[in-house]
Structures are given as C-alpha cells and as structure tokens.
C-alpha cells in the first residue's frame, strides 16, 4: 500500500471517470473554484460521494478557493510587447491598447517606482518607472504577448489585500453546506486569513480542515504562525516560483514540508508533478524524480492539476504517481525523531514499539484524528489503521500519510467491547487475521478529543 496520498483535480477529463481514478489510487479530489459555477461543483461532489460509496473507498473532497488572484482586464485580441515598450496600469477607462485595467485597482496606489510587476505566470516582466495620479507606467523587460484576464504577480512589493474575497465568502458558504472535507485558502499572507476562513465555514455548520496554500513571500515570512492556525498546508509551487524565483522552489519545498511534519500538519505538494502527461502517455525522468523527491521530503500527498482536468491520460497519470510512491517507499527514512511533549509522547512511544515489535498494524481509536496525525508525524513503517465513529473524521484522514485503512464503528463506552467490535470488523473485511499482533492507542475517555493516554499490544 502507498503511504503518501494522491490528490486529483476534477475537470472535463476526469468528471466521468471518478470511479476509475479511485481504483487507480486517488485519495482526495480537488475542486478548483477558480473555474466552474456552484451547480457544476455540486454535481461533482455528488458524483464523488456516489463513486466512493460504490467502491467502498474513503475519499476526501478538497475545495480550493480562488483568493485574490489579480488579473488584467479585457484586451482586444493579443497585445504584442517588445523589450523597452511602456504599458500603463490605470484606474480610468483605457484610452489605447497599451493602457490596462486590473481586477483590484487600489493596488496601483501600493506599488512604487523600481518594483517589478509580472504578467502571465512571469512570462512578461515589467518594472515600475513612473507613478502618476491613478496610474502607473511600466517598462517591459522582455518581449512576449498578453491576452485578456492574465494573472499578475508582485514579487518585491508589500501588497495589502485580504486573502478572502467576496467571491470566496460565497464559495466557503457553498462548500460548508455541501460537506467538503478540506478547504485550501489561496494567497495566504498570515494566520488571520486562516482564522477568517475557519470562522466562515464554522458559521455554516462545517468542521472542514483549513489548509494554507504557501505561495507568497509574506506567507514564507509568517510560515510558523500560519501553520499553527492551519489544519494542513499546500506547497503551491506555481505562484511561489514566480514570487521568489524558480531556483528557490526546491529549497523552500523542503523547508515547508519539514516544518509541517514537525507540527503534524498534513502537507500537499502541488503543481506540474507530471505536466508532460497532459499530452503524453509517459512522464519525463525529471518529473518522476520530482515526485520521488517530494515523497522523500516527507510530503503527505502529491497533487495533479492539468494532468487530470484537461489531460489526455488522467488514469495513467495517477497510476504513474502510485508506482513512483511505492518504489520510493523502499528507501524512505522511516522513524523520524522530534522533541516530544503531550500527546506526541504517546505517538513517539508507538513508533518505537513498531520498530522493536514489527506489528501487523497500529490501530488508533480517534474522535478528531489528532492522535492519528501525531502517530504519522513519526513516520512508522507499520501501517496505520484509524478507527472512528465520525464520518467527517474518516474522510479527512484520507489526507494523512501512512493511514492505509479507516474503519467506522459506532461509539461504545466500554474499552473491551470497542476493541472486540473493531476486531470483528477488521477480520470480516480481511484487514487482520488470527495471530496478528497490533499496537492499539485509545483514550480513557472514549469519544472525547485529545484524551489518548493508553497504548496496548494485542494479538488478534
């Protein structure tokens, strides 16, 4: 079984192949709210839940909200630019093709002479050379073309704008009401952005995990506090590479994953993992190495975007990811060591017992998933089986490294009866057999979050 999880983004290439994708190895489906309307996403959620139930799979749904992606306005056709050309960002109505509106015009006031403005994922790079009343003049630094609605980045500017836009508020309400399991917040700058998103989903009855997408310089500066406020994190390598320079992405990926592992926050590594498979049935060797290195870095999950939204080979892309993950596990550095405290002392002890006893599985009885995340932090080689009475917790744990199965059983107050109920379910499903040795974690107060205080070594 693979210990690192797979995220696939839903799109035209995958919406009618969800069952096949689950069978190929997908654990989490991502809905990109930068595209499609609520009705389309509602239908996708229904199809995912139906397919998961049909094949008896524990599948999570991740809602990726748009955030304040700043874009240029409409352009008539294609705007060809040469090095040295001047273009103007204006709050007023454009007078010619070289004057552009932007989606957040107040940003014009926040930019200063000498700062850079990138367009279209960095393919057009410009520098602010003149600041006028309600306008900025930019000098083009490389030749290229621009078309309508292309994105913008400000790599050396301190832009103050909320990560939660009015559209995001509506999207968060929709996600909460339709039962998404994880919400990814785009363009996070600080912990307050995470708290704001959490408050919105809680107000609408959802306990979804809130994941911070790390893709800005400000997010890197505030990484520790953002992780503290989040339930999970995504290394969003696309915009991050534009913000800091692509040469920094491998180093920052390792730093973010290491810190997320230490703080037991599930981490997803995203963007261009197998991009060539959009049009090719085979990946490049560099892409395979990239996936393997993300696994070795300690990521909980790897994510496909274009490969499964518009790609020609979505099933094959997932299959490649699964094969690379399984092969890489052969040299994975299991049994991590950290300074321990509180519940982590239990989890660290579990990892030590796994190394010494080599049990068939670690079985963690959990209400919220906290103990399971703690155990996964230490990366035991032994498979982790989570047991919970909560459907919500069950699906969220699809994002946690090493969790190979999740069993849902009714809440039972008696410890021995709870273990007996699990044992019966595990044997019926062929997960365990007579004579298997397992390590069990559970709390003296069954069903109460954060009360795990017991480790037991049992034989089935």
Q: Please write the tens of the pLDDT for every residue from 324-348.
A: 999 999 999 999 999 887 778 999 9
What architecture (CATH level 2) is domain 79-153? Beta Barrel (2.40)
* Alpha carbon distance 377, 298 (integer Å): 9
What distance lies between CA 192 and its chain's CA centroid? 19
Which of 294, 320, 297 is closest to 307 using CA atoms?
320
Which of 123, 377, 98, 165 is closest to 261 using CA atoms?
377
Q: What is the pLDDT of residue 109?
A: 95
CB contact at 8 A, 401 and 266: yes
CB contact at 8 A, 364 and 402: no
> What residues are paired with 362 via a beta bridge?
384, 439
Give the number of C-alpha atoms closer than 13 A to the C-alpha of residue 379, restricted to the C-beta side. 22
List the Cα angle 164/169/173 in 5-degree steps: 140
Q: What is the pLDDT of residue 121?
A: 86
- The set of catalytic residues is 30, 71, 213, 271
CATH number assigned to the domain covering 343-459: 3.40.1380.20
Return phi, psi of residue 203, to 5°. -60, -25
* Alpha carbon distance 303, 298 (integer Å): 14
| Region of residue 443 (phi > 0: left; psi between -120 and 50: alpha; otherwise: beta) | beta
What distance lies between CA 413 and its chain's CA centroid? 35
What distance lies between CA 93 and its chain's CA centroid? 39
* Alpha carbon distance 193, 186 (integer Å): 9
Q: What is the pLDDT of residue 447?
A: 65
Q: How many CB atoms within 10 Å of residue 55? A: 12
* Alpha carbon distance 218, 233 (integer Å): 15
Domain range list for the chain: 5-67+162-329, 79-153, 343-459
Topology alike, domains 5-67+162-329 and 343-459 = no
Q: What is the pLDDT of residue 342?
A: 75
What distance lies between CA 23 and its chain's CA centroid? 21
Q: Please write the tens of the pLDDT for every residue from 262-285.
A: 999 999 999 999 999 999 999 999
Tokens read off for 83 = 């090095």
End-to-end distance of the chain based on CA atoms, in angstroms?
21
* Alpha carbon distance 36, 7 (integer Å): 19
Q: What is the pLDDT along the chain (460 residues), one digit of tens a residue?
A: 999 999 999 999 999 999 999 999 999 999 999 999 999 999 999 999 999 999 999 999 999 999 998 999 999 999 999 999 999 999 999 999 999 999 999 999 999 999 999 999 899 999 999 999 899 999 999 999 999 989 999 998 988 899 999 999 999 999 999 999 999 999 999 999 999 999 999 999 999 999 999 999 999 999 999 999 999 999 999 999 999 999 999 999 999 999 999 999 999 999 999 999 999 999 999 999 999 999 999 999 999 999 999 999 999 999 999 999 999 999 999 999 998 877 789 999 999 999 999 999 999 999 999 999 999 999 999 999 999 999 999 999 999 999 999 999 988 888 889 999 999 999 998 999 999 999 999 987 766 676 788 999 999 8
* Alpha carbon distance 200, 212 (integer Å): 15
Q: Which residues of 128-155 are buried (b: 16+ CB within 10 A; e: fewer)?
A: beeeeeeebbbebbeebebeeebbbbbb
Which of 323, 301, 131, 338 is closest to 209 using CA atoms?
301
Q: What is the pLDDT of residue 443?
A: 87
Give the number of C-alpha atoms closer than 13 A to the C-alpha of residue 321, restricted to the C-beta side. 34
Q: At what angle do helices 285-297 and 314-328 cross, to 10 degrees?
A: 50
Q: What topology is assigned to 5-67+162-329 in CATH?
A: TIM Barrel (3.20.20)
CB contact at 8 A, 14 and 48: no
């Amino acid at each position: 079984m693979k210990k690192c999880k797979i995220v696939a983004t839903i799109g035209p290439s995958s919406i009618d192949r969800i069952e096949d994708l689950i069978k190929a190895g997908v654990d989490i489906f991502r809905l990109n709210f930068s595209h499609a309307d609520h009705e389309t996403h509602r239908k996708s959620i229904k199809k995912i839940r139906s397919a998961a139930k049909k094949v008896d799979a524990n599948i999570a749904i991740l809602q990726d909200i748009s955030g304040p992606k700043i874009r240029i306005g409409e352009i008539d056709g294609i705007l060809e630019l040469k090095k040295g050309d001047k273009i103007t960002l204006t709050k007023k109505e454009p007078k010619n093709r070289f004057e552009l509106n932007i989606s957040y015009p107040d940003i014009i006031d926040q930019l200063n002479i000498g700062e850079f403005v990138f367009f279209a994922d960095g393919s057009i790079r410009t520098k602010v050379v003149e600041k006028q009343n309600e306008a900025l003049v930019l000098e083009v630094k490389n030749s290229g073309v621009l078309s309508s609605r292309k994105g913008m980045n400000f790599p050396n500017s301190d832009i103050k704008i909320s990560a939660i836009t009015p559209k995001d508020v509506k999207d968060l309400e929709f996600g909460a009401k339709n039962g998404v399991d994880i919400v990814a917040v785009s363009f996070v700058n600080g912990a307050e952005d995470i708290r704001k998103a959490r408050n919105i989903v809680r107000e609408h009855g959802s306990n979804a995990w809130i994941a911070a997408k790390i893709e800005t310089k400000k997010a890197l500066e505030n990484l520790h506090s953002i992780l503290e406020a989040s339930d999970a994190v995504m290394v969003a390598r696309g915009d991050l590479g534009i913000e800091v320079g692509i040469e920094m992405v491998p180093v920052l990926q390792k730093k973010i994953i290491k810190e997320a592992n230490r703080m037991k926050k599930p981490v997803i590594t995203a963007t261009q993992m197998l991009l060539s498979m959009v049009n090719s049935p085979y990946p490049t060797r560099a892409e395979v190495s990239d996936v393997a290195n993300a696994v070795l870095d300690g990521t909980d999950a790897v994510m496909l975007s274009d490969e499964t939204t518009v790609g020609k080979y979505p099933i094959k892309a997932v299959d490649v990811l699964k094969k690379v993950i399984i092969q890489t596990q052969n040299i994975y550095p299991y049994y991590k060591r950290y300074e321990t405290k509180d519940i982590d002392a239990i989890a660290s002890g579990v990892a030590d017992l796994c190394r010494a006893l080599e049990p068939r599985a670690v079985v963690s009885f959990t209400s919220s998933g906290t103990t399971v995340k703690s155990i996964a932090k230490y990366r035991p080689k032994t498979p982790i089986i989570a047991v919970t009475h909560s459907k919500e917790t069950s699906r969220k744990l699809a994002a946690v490294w090493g969790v190979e199965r999740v069993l849902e059983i009714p809440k039972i107050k008696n410890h021995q009866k709870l273990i007996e109920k699990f044992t019966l379910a595990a044997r019926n499903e062929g997960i365990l057999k007579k004579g298997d040795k397992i390590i069990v974690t559970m709390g003296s107060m069954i069903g109460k979050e954060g009360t795990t205080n017991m480790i037991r070594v049992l034989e089935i």
